[in-house]
Structure 1
């Protein structure tokens, strides 16, 4: 039985090789196109000599991009100084503009809504300012150019008697110092 099985295997392998050889793509040989019998004489093109005008090199003018210091407020959740992820693009843009002028100084003004004690809101607003400052420093802004200050519930920009107003008042404002 072993002898027959080995013969059968050899026959299968041989027939597979023959089948693969038969399936091999054949190259088509193209016949060269017949050469035209009529020849047309073409005259050599006449070259005109034009005066050479020297080209002056133009140097690209360096454009100085002025920083945009009109920053959006950074908003926070209730009783939190943790940066929201929607603040990252705003802070990245602010950091990019701050790094354009290394002599500029900025104040980060932290605020809180009118919920909680005045002492807690003052500490929370300071923590919010420090969170923004830390993010900007980690983004490459020099720490000496940033000052974080907490103002608590002072200077509300919206009504603290409504939830919508309190949400707007939980913020850090970024201002360029004059």
Structure 2
């Protein structure tokens, strides 16, 4: 394990190799997105797109490590118990989703009529892994880089508000979006940024 850590550290400390690695990761991400649209069907389209965001995440973290003042710790990525914090955040997210679905079913806003297809536990695990990368990618972009950049130049409050608005614009549901929907997404994004 130590050898692979040293190898990665040597690459990350070499600016030229780091840039090449970031470009390779970016190319893999784009390639996966293209093949997911052209050649795959069903769940595999979405799963491959989500997996591509793992490559995009690392392609972005390399320049942050090299160029941003303070490196990865500047965007709150430290080695100190990362899995505990990510686990707590994931647990809170799952709890919120379960509570939301419970309220929707109890209030008859949503009706559960059984499963159309049998459950594929392998696919569920693959989606869970892919969503971890996708959510980490969004956190790095919106709360890491964008919020940090604005907070450094203006204020933390403005960084939270602007990154929350941009996050909300990206997550607007197509066609069914209303002003209330947008405000709700902005408010929950601000809450999670605190």
TM-score, normalisation: structure 1: 0.22
Normalising by the residue count of structure 2, what TM-score does the alignment of the two structures yield?
0.21
> Relative contact order: is structure 1 or structure 2 higher (C-alpha 8 Å, sep ≥ 6)?
1
Structure (1/2) with the larger strand percentage? 1
Structure whose alpha-carbon radius of gyration is higher? 1
